[in-house]
Amino acid sequence: MKFGIVTFPGSNCDVDAMHAVTDQLGQTAVSLWHRDHDTQGCDVLILPGGFSYGDALRAGAIARFSPIMQEVVAHAERGAPVIGICNGFQILCESHLLPGALMRNAGLKFVCDWVHVRVEGCAPMFLNSYQSGQVLRVPVAHGEGRFAADDATLDLLEGNGQVVFRYCDAAGHVTEASNPNGALRGIAGITNAAGNVLGMMPHPERAVESLLGSTDGLPLFESLLSRVGA
């Protein structure tokens, strides 16, 4: 399987994502520049974390208009997998590939910490190697991670099983104290209706080996292997 990892000016988790899918998952990957018009036949595209365009205007607002994004949209419309992590999630929302938006953390502070999220919803492409209800320990690092959408959109997301990760405590209970940013309904990650575009604030690529403190992010990438094929 071939991964394409997009680097925007200000991306800073692109190398981490590269390490996760090559060294840990054992797949091939290429780095794509935001000005590229070609995704080089990649099976999976990853929009990594960082601060594209210095978060000018709104996080992800400018990156959304980078030339590569036309290819990302076309890739998504073909039903092929796209993963947006942290800033990548913000870009996917700004691009309307995912509903909602990521707003300033409720506590106003940048949150850099380990959190727990519960696996939910229905997105076998990304969740196949997890158990439903499984609790993952993964890192977050963001200032604008408060997922927001109107009630109708939130109901639709929940009804369709598009909420795939929700902040919880170590026992899997969704509580106010376990929500690091005030995200509505504790939402940490969602997919599009077709289930091939995933956006999440936590960093699975930083939780792929015990040296990093957790391997809970690795099954996300393994799910792609088992569903999309090596």
Which residues in this chain contact another protein in the complex, by CB under 8 A? Answer: 57-58, 61, 65, 93-94, 99-101, 103-108, 146, 148-150, 182
DSSP state of 50: B
Distance CA 188, CA 89 (A): 10
Least Å distance between CB 17 and another protein? 26
Q: Which is nearer to another protein, 12 or 153 (CB)?
A: 153
Reference 185, options 203, 199, 200, 166; nearest CA is 166
Q: Which is nearer to another protein, 33 or 65 (CB)?
A: 65
Task: Please pick, among 13, 42, 86, 168, the residue that the annotation labels catalytic.
Answer: 86
Say if strands 187-191 and 163-168 run parallel, antiparallel, or are unpaired. Answer: antiparallel
Active site residue 42: no
Distance CA 44, CA 31 (A): 12
Least Å distance between CB 104 and another protein? 6
Q: Which residues pair with 139 in a beta bridge?
A: 114
Query: Which residues have C-beta within 8 Å of that of residue 206, sequence separation ≥ 6?
Result: 13, 16, 138, 139, 212, 217
Q: Which is nearer to another protein, 99 or 217 (CB)?
A: 99
Least Å distance between CB 92 and another protein? 13
Least Å distance between CB 89 and another protein? 14
Give how far the C-alpha of residue 73 lies from the chain's centroid of Cα atoms, to the nearest Å: 16
Active site residue 205: yes
Q: Which is nearer to another protein, 11 or 181 (CB)?
A: 181
Q: List the catalytic residues.
A: 86, 203, 205
